[in-house]
Structure 1
């Protein structure tokens, strides 16, 4: 492995470190504001940020292994573990978001205003595309599908941010109490798809692909 390739891997890992730190900030602010104001959309967005933070943490672990020159089998093992953990985390997030949103629809509770919540959403509108670009750029430079896959996840989070902002806006300025839990429910299909895709990809990661090829032959 060339020194230039290692440098690019290290830079990709740095982007993931920044992503992890920022996602932790998202989690703290959005969950605190969401529970304080009764906003299902903010809470659901915060739960998804927990999953994004886990994604960044496991990507750091995997890229660190590649940087250290771990064996191909070890790298495949780390990839399989990373994708499996993500699939499980996404599945739990789907269940929680459904529970939170449906409960609010039944009780018809109206979420109150939170400038902290709106503030972190607006900041994320700018930060997420920058993080996604960094992940995709170094994923392409290092030929890392998982980095590019994580970049797509970050852009999905950008979509979710827009949805939550619209939901909160409709509640506050139009008085549509149901817009907040509906915004949360709109997040579900994307999180569920991420759960399916990461689980499917984990299943297809072969620790010893040569053995599988010999068996098929």
Structure 2
């Protein structure tokens, strides 16, 4: 009678919350080159879109005095920083050596966003600051809700195949932008339709909570095994 095979305990290196609980199979050099170029292209597209998104959101948020819209614009700035960290990593001949540093940059950018948005949201709630209607903000949130899921999926798929935690982390930052687009859209719409002024800072607080969670995951490097 054969003895049962011992089970290894799940650790940070063997288990993670992203569904990639086993190391990826070895990738051939030619396939790795294709995936690396794909990640670079997706990162460039993400940076370009988010630069435009940040400018529009920050300008519209300032005009409308919308904490949520400004927070969304700052998230776009964070996404640019995150994507730039991944671009820096993959500009190296050996991207794996820069992975931990890239993850730290992504994590810190999340925490900075959460801190700013929390302070502004609480201040708006305590002082009863009312955000104005913003058609530009509503349209921007709707467009981002359509664009971001595709970018996130493509980069996450390539990152997982490469076994790159930073690429997966950056794809989750892009996916976060999708969630925030939905939160922002609801907050702006409710404020415009029903005059519920508190919906705007509450939406911004949701953005902060999600940002903290993603920042912790990036710092621990649990996005991909």
TM-score normalised per structure 2? 0.81
TM-score normalised per structure 1? 0.84
Deviation at 1:154, TM superposition (A): 1.7
Q: In the alignment, which residue of structure 2 is the partner of 1:11?
A: 38
Deviation at 1:110, TM superposition (A): 1.4
**Compared with structure 1, are the counterparts of its residues 8 and 199 closer, same or farther at alpha carbon in structure 2 (3 Å cutoff)?**
closer
Instruction: Name structure 2 gaps, 5 residues minimum.
Output: 1-27
Q: In the alignment, which residue of structure 1 is the partner of 2:176?
A: 156
Q: In the alignment, which residue of structure 2 is the partner of 1:43?
A: 70
What whole-Å deviation, never above 9, does each CA across 1:96-135 have from its counterpart, x for those lacking one? 1011111111221211122221221111011101101210
Distance 2:68 2:170 in 1: 23
1:137 equivalent in alignment to 2:153:
no
Q: In the alignment, which residue of structure 2 is the partner of 1:55?
A: 82
Distance 1:44 1:157 in 2: 11
Instruction: Name structure 1 gaps, 5 residues minimum.
Output: 203-217
Q: In the alignment, which residue of structure 1 is the partner of 2:139?
A: 119
1:80 equivalent in alignment to 2:107:
no
RMSD between aligned residues = 1.7
The secondary structure found in structure 1 opposite 2:130 is coil
**How many aligned positions are there?**
195
Distance 1:113 1:62 in 2: 41
